[in-house]
Chain A
Amino acid sequence: MIEFRHVTKRFADGTVAVDDLSLVAPSHQITVLVGPSGCGKTTSLRMVNRMVDPSDGQILVDDEDIHALDAVRLRRGIGYVIQHAGLFPHKTVVDNIATVPKLLGWSRQQARQRALELIDQVGLEQQYAERYPAQLSGGQQQRVGVARALAADPPIMLMDEPFSAVDPVVRAQLQDEFLRLQRDLAKTIVFVTHDIDEAIKLGDNIVVLRVGGRLAQTDTPAGLLANPTDDFVAGFIGRDRGYRALSFVPGDDLRIQPLPDGVHVDTSYPYRRGGPLKAALDATLTAPGGRAVVVDERGTAVGVIDHQDVLAAVRRAETQRAETA
């Protein structure tokens, strides 16, 4: 667990980057710091591995004040990934990944072995092991950046806009693989982004910061979409937050119509039974004729839904939410 207690960072020129920030990033979860530029998110992140020291307040990692720890030793125990990966141009992929193990004094053989394992784990092919970073695409470089951060199996990972510099298709792919990795590894992750969609997709918890480094709201993605604390947060999330909140409403009580007999059903736009209502709505909006095929876990068609079914389910969810609130 990472904890900020009344942390303030004032730079030498008088600007306040972070202002009395208190927050908790729970263990084994992804905590996303999100906000417009100038909200102090990167500064906050860098205070966790002491690349920046706070002017006031305390930062605790597993209840230990990091101010008392040696900065270099601390950093070797915390993975760090940045926007353009920041790979060492003069080292091959495998040597880049083996950096921290070597700093920690592992043998060459061990460090190399571990690096080769990680190349697999982040979805790169072994043929890239001996290439230099300049020979890789942006997306591949970013995978190597993640592998390098994971090399010594640190319990904590800090990620500063790691997927911002790649095109949307690759970004979505990297995000999905990142979530898959996290399901296996369960690291304590602090993730910085300016992109609220990324925050909602990746975060277990979201910390919204406003310009001047002040806390605006801490919540789960669903909580944030449902109850933004003020106009700033609501504006930052965007006007379509109602629609996007549907990705957190399960479609359990969606009425499914039986498959029509003898009519060909188009399964190009399937909705997986039990998936969120947003997926159901997307499927009916995209499928020709407004009728989407419902499939089960194995991908077998089990029925169809149309707009009316989805809207009815949305209405039921709304009523339920109003009653519990």
Chain B
Amino acid sequence: MTEVLDYVSQSGDTVLSYLGEHIIMSIVPIGLALCFAIPLGWWAARRPVLTSVLLSMGGIAYSVPSIALFIVLPLVFGYQIISLTNIIVALTIYSTALLVRNVIDGLESVPDDVRLSATALGYGHLGRLLSVELPVAVPVIAAGLRVVTVTNVSMVSVGALIGKGGLGNLFMEGLRSDYMAPIIVGLVLSVLLALSLDGLLVMGQRWLTPWVRVRAGR
């Protein structure tokens, strides 16, 4: 325990900058993935063929080992391998692959009569999506977001193998110098980060969907 405290007092700045990096590399891909997954999911929802094509593509993307993606993507897109961009692009691909399914499920969870009445009252396609379908789909999409967020926090660490892994760098450091303290600090901070991001998402969802609790309370 004293070892850990000593380590933190000596290398606090490094740990903090790793943590900052880790947060950016976990959160930015989620935002980007939402921007891709919502239009893709909207396009595919209620088109069974398109849905199954998109979901198989997502499955394939998700089955590619992350380390392979970290190495191949820079070759394809021509950016630096040791860069935030590299990790963010790779994790955006994974997050999108996971989220598309939730967006499709969410949009399909909107009852037919709700969609029908929205059309009949005079919503255009976009207005109906933004004012009716997406808000009603929030609980299902938020469930997917929580899984993606926790997954991303742990995936970022893998980037340490190519020298860009946020808190994951602490694991490599401990491994190389046979020193437990950085490993323990990395582990504790990763778990705390995952828990707090998850907590934020739960709060956000509760704020966006007061009507869900009302139904549960009936």
Please list the residues of chain A having a beta carbon within 8 angstroms of any beta carbon in chain B. Answer: 49, 51, 72-73, 75-76, 80, 82-91, 99-100, 103, 131-132, 134-135, 145, 148, 158
Contact B113 A49 (CB under 8 A): no
Kindly provide the distance from the CB of A188 to the nearest chain B CB, expressed in whole angstroms. 16
Q: For chain B, residues 67 to 83, give those with C-beta under 8 angstroms from any C-beta of chain A.
A: none
Q: For chain B, residues 96 to 134, give those with C-beta under 8 angstroms from any C-beta of chain A.
A: 111, 113-114, 116-124, 127, 132
| Complex Cα spacing A145 to B114, Å | 11
* A75-B121 contact given A90-B135, A90-B136, A90-B209, CB 8 Å threshold: yes
Residue of A73, A86, A90, A134 with highest tally of chain B CB at under 10 A: A90
Kindly provide the distance from the CB of B209 to the nearest chain A CB, expressed in whole angstroms. 7
Instruction: Answer yes or no: B215 CB below 8 A from chain A CBs.
Output: yes
Contact B136 A103 (CB under 8 A): no
Residues of A within 8 A of B114 (CB): 86-89
Instruction: Answer yes or no: B43 CB below 8 A from chain A CBs.
Output: no
Contact A82 B117 (CB under 8 A): yes
Kindly provide the distance from the CB of A165 to the nearest chain B CB, expressed in whole angstroms. 10
| Complex Cα spacing A85 to B117, Å | 8
Contact A100 B211 (CB under 8 A): no
A88 touches which of B132, B209, B215 (Cβ 8 Å): B132
Residue of A73, A76, A86, A132 with highest tally of chain B CB at under 10 A: A86
B218 touches which of A75, A91, A103, A135 (Cβ 8 Å): A135
Q: Could you give, for residues 204-218 of chain B, a 1 whenever the CB lies within 8 Å of some chain A CB and a 0 otherwise?
A: 000001110011001
Residues of A within 8 A of B111 (CB): 86, 89
Closest to A100 in B: B121
Number of A-B residue pairs with CB-CB distance less than 8 Å in the complex they form: 72
Contact A75 B211 (CB under 8 A): no
Interface residues of B, count at CB 8 A: 23
Contact A103 B123 (CB under 8 A): yes
| Complex Cα spacing A100 to B122, Å | 7
Kindly provide the distance from the CB of B136 to the nearest chain A CB, expressed in whole angstroms. 6
| Complex Cα spacing A76 to B211, Å | 26
Contact B122 A75 (CB under 8 A): yes
Residues of A within 8 A of B118 (CB): 86, 88
Q: Could you give, for residues 27-44 of chain B, a 1 whenever the CB lies within 8 Å of some chain A CB and a 0 otherwise?
A: 000000000000000000
Residues of A within 8 A of B121 (CB): 75-76, 80, 99-100, 103, 148
Contact A132 B215 (CB under 8 A): yes
6 residue pairs A–B, Cβ–Cβ below 8 Å = A72-B124, A75-B121, A86-B113, A103-B123, A103-B127, A131-B214
Residues of B within 8 A of A51 (CB): 116, 119-120
Residues of A within 8 A of B209 (CB): 90
Supplied contacts A75-B120, A82-B113, A90-B132, 20 more A-B pairs, CB within 8 Å? A72-B123, A72-B124, A73-B122, A75-B122, A84-B113, A86-B117, A86-B118, A87-B114, A88-B118, A88-B136, A89-B211, A100-B121, A103-B121, A103-B122, A131-B214, A132-B214, A134-B211, A134-B218, A135-B214, A148-B121
| Complex Cα spacing A76 to B122, Å | 5
Residues of B within 8 A of A103 (CB): 121-123, 127
Q: Which A-B residue pairs are the 4 nearest by beta carbons?
A: A86-B117, A76-B122, A86-B113, A80-B120
Residues of B within 8 A of A85 (CB): 113, 117
Residues of A within 8 A of B113 (CB): 82-86
Residues of B within 8 A of A99 (CB): 121
Contact B215 A134 (CB under 8 A): yes
* A89-B116 contact given A76-B121, A132-B211, CB 8 Å threshold: no
